Amino acid sequence: MLYVCATPIGNLEDASPRVLDKLREAELIAAEDTRRTRKLLSRFDIHTPLTSFFQHNELQKTGEVLRLLRQGRTVTLVTDAGMPGVQDPGMLLVQKVVDEGLEMTVVPGPSAVLTALVAAGIPGEGFRFVGYLPRRARELEAALTAWRRCGGLVVAFDTGQRLARSLASLAAHIPGARAAVCRELTKVHEEIVRGTVLELSERYPVPGPDAATREAVRGEITLVVDLGAPLDDEVARRPGTESAAAALLARGLSRRDVAAALHVCLGMSRRDADRVAREVAARGA
């Protein structure tokens, strides 16, 4: 039997009794980082043997775990935090177990994605989790174009070293979009900063050469961004439409006049111009 268990994303007390039972009952625990998992086991006086199971040995270890499962042994799979297989090792093993018809069950638990989604406080129906944001600005721009075709809420992971540049890239295209930076969720220094993408980029500026601004943001980052209503391909690729609408609304123009200006000056269709004006006006209400 394979148990796929979600582990705490920061606070060890979030480990469920059922997860702890599966960690105790297993004959072997396959862990992304045995050092981090030992801290969890030590906290709850669990002494099950560990084996490493991480990105660079996943193929080899998948074969080893499969051999144990075929023999009727019990293995529990965990990662450093959250659910195995979601931006972490484990999905290959799960796929092989399913393909072979071996026994498996998933034990749910803490999730950085869902925790950030609720903590952001941005209403919406449905969301898209996109994993880690692309490293390069051009790749992020291309991804943003694709995401805006669907609209809605996007949840992504980022690193403290890249957060400022990611926000700067996003602010160049969707400055008025509502967003939240969720850092160190469930930990002692948990921080949730909400605002527009532009406001967040100002809150987390790109590090400068002086010592005061050189240090990167620390901790694990989950970013939530509201992309609003879906836009067609042409509009999604065109930067500045929302910032232009926001500027016109700030000057006192009505939503209808703003939509007309976007249609005439930027060549947007009337439908998309009205949609952008309505969305930006709603955010500023």
- Provide the CATH number for the domain around residue 94: 3.40.1010.10
The pLDDT of residue 254? 86
Same structural domain for residues 122 and 216? yes
Same structural domain for residues 29 and 135? no
Same structural domain for residues 83 and 118? no
The pLDDT of residue 213? 53
Domain that holds residue 277: 240-285
Same structural domain for residues 228 and 118? yes
Which residue, 70, 95, 110, sits at the end of a domain? 110
* pLDDT of 64 over the 60 cut: yes
Same structural domain for residues 126 and 61? no
Same structural domain for residues 20 and 61? yes
SS (H, E, C) the chain: CEEEECECCCCHHHCCHHHHHHHHHCCEEEECCHHHHHHHHHHCCCCCCEEECCHHHHHHHHHHHHHHHHCCCCEEEECCCECCCCCCCCHHHHHHHHHHCCCEEEECCCCHHHHHHHHHCCCCCCEEEEEECCCCHHHHHHHHHHHHHHCCEEEEEEECCCHHHHHHHHHCCCCCCEEEEEECCCCCCCEEEEEEHHHHHHHCCCCCCCHHHHCCCCCEEEEEEECCCCCCHHHHHCCCHHHHHHHHHHCCCCHHHHHHHHHHHHCCCHHHHHHHHHHHHHHHC
Strands 50-52 and 2-5: unpaired
CA distances from 159 to 132, 184, 228, 284 (A): 8, 11, 25, 30
pLDDT band at 243 (very low <50, low <70, confident <90, very high): confident
Same structural domain for residues 119 and 224? yes
pLDDT digits (tens, 9 = 90+) for 80-111: 999 999 989 999 999 999 999 999 999 999 99
pLDDT band at 22 (very low <50, low <70, confident <90, very high): very high
Q: What is the mean pLDDT of residues 168-189?
A: 93
Which residue, 67, 92, 110, sits at the end of a domain? 110
Q: Which residue has the higher pLDDT, 67 or 173?
A: 67
Q: What is the mean pLDDT of residues 117-144?
A: 92
Number of domains in the chain: 3
CB atoms inside a 10 Å sphere around CB 225: 28
CA distances from 39 to 3, 22, 34, 114, 187 (A): 20, 16, 9, 24, 15
Same structural domain for residues 228 and 128? yes
* pTM for this predicted structure: 0.79
Same structural domain for residues 16 and 126? no
Same structural domain for residues 145 and 102? no
* pLDDT of 225 over the 70 cut: yes
Same structural domain for residues 142 and 198? yes
Q: What is the mean pLDDT of residues 50-57?
A: 96
Same structural domain for residues 52 and 159? no
Which residue, 211, 232, 253, sits at the end of a domain? 232
User: Residue 170's domain is classified under what CATH number?
Assistant: 3.30.950.10
